[in-house]
Amino acid sequence: MAIPTPKPAWLDADLELLADNATRFFTRECLPHQARWREQRRGDRDIWLKAGAAGLLCASIPEEYGGGGGHFGHEVAITQAHAHSLAGGFSNGVHSVIVAHYILRYGTEAQKRRWLPKMASGETVAAIAMTEPGAGSDLQAIRTSARRDGDSYVINGAKTFITNGYHADLICIVCRTSDAPGAKGLSLVMAEVKDLPGFRRGRLLDKMGQHTIDTCELFFDDMRVPVEDLLGTDEGQGFRQLMEQLPRERLIIAVGGVATLERAVQETLAYVLERKVYGQPLMAMQNTRFVLAECQTLTTVARCFVDDCVRRALTDELDLATAAMAKWWVTDTVGKVVDACLQLFGGYGYMNEYPICRIFADQRVGRIYGGSNEVMKELIARAMERT
């Protein structure tokens, strides 16, 4: 048994029940399909409908828009259960925590009523398309353009690394609606892409890990969307909108990271208690004991820090720099802990059939996406300069 950490005050009975239900769902509906999903590099489309029926999509969106009527704590409970189960299959984080909240925060009443209920049921899958071949960390270098022509935007450009990109029906596209330089010309335009002329999905990208989640290139070639599908009332607000929402997005990556740490330590402890070397359990070796003690300590520290960030997020007190700290430190710690755990498995740790091997490959991207860890440190340093 790994050592339990203190229960945070925000984790009430309702959230614990939700986490249990979510764990049962991922175990029943996702785990049996892992091998096939890995092979095809994506989950099946119907997992979205099943997750919607189980109340796992848009849990923090008000009931009047078809959501679960919960708060950020509900997303945390689901995200932890998902990460801990190693079930993959789809990115609820992008769909429910990111895109649904852009719509809730910046959408018109008509947009909320049009998109959110179908996202909550899983009929609509959402993605966010920021990254381009020439613009990753530096979002101000985005070139995808949305030129106004009558009642339409005519969108041209290419996006890459887009999570949920294969299944997505609704894509939040970060694009330029004017020639204003840098951040000023950026807007968020929603595109309903099913059968939309000028829209094309590229290949499913062949990633190092996270093989059950679809990641795609997207291409827009004179793709027309109605002007009313701009998110928010004015053009040029995209960069500000992105900056406002980023703390929660980064925190949810850290939340998943803590669950990964807990699972990695749990798997490793079980293995070293069982595995015999020189006639005794691996756990009897002092090195094993010290390594695991360090991993458990780091996991506990990460859990306490992230729980405190969640508490702050629930009261709207989570600042950009603290969220950046959580994102970089937790994902960095996951890398170190999982590497140390894998070593204790010896050659078995290098075999895909062992969960620790898949965790090792799946977690690596945590230091890259959601804003790379170097960018997180830059944000923290800027906040330090200002104080």
Residues at the site binding ligand FAD, with contacts judged by CB under 6 A = 94, 128-131, 136-137, 161-163, 207, 210, 215, 365, 368-369, 371-372, 374-375, 378
Nearer to ligand FAD, 209 or 236 (CB): 209
Nearer to ligand FAD, 23 or 333 (CB): 333
Q: Tell the smallest beta-carbon distance from residue 160 to ligand FAD (Å).
A: 7
Reduced to 3 states (helix: H, G, I; strand: E, B; else coil), residue 229 is helix
Reduced to 3 states (helix: H, G, I; strand: E, B; else coil), residue 200 is strand
Cα atoms in the 13 Å half-sphere on the side-chain side of 35:
4
Token pair for residue 158? 């290419």
Calpha distance 96→232 (Å, rounded): 19
Calpha distance 375→266 (Å, rounded): 31
Catalytic residue among 249, 353, 374, 385, which?
249
Q: Tell the smallest beta-carbon distance from residue 378 to ligand FAD (Å).
A: 5
Q: Tell the smallest beta-carbon distance from residue 314 to ligand FAD (Å).
A: 25
Backbone region of residue 330 per phi and psi (left: phi > 0; alpha: psi in -120 to 50; beta: other values): alpha
Nearer to ligand FAD, 32 or 133 (CB): 133
Helix 238-274 to helix 286-314 angle (10° resolution) is 150
Q: Tell the smallest beta-carbon distance from residue 325 to ligand FAD (Å).
A: 16
Nearer to ligand FAD, 55 or 185 (CB): 185
Say if residue 58 is exposed, middle or buried (CB neighbours under 10 Å; 0-12, 13-18, 19+): buried
Nearer to ligand FAD, 219 or 369 (CB): 369
Which of these, 217, 208, 214, lies nearest to 364 by C-alpha position? Answer: 208
Q: Tell the smallest beta-carbon distance from residue 9 to ligand FAD (Å).
A: 33
Report whether 100 contacts 126 (CB < 8 A).
Answer: yes
Give the β-pairing of 126-129 and 170-176. parallel
Does the active-site annotation cover 249?
Answer: yes
Which amino acids are annotated catalytic? 249
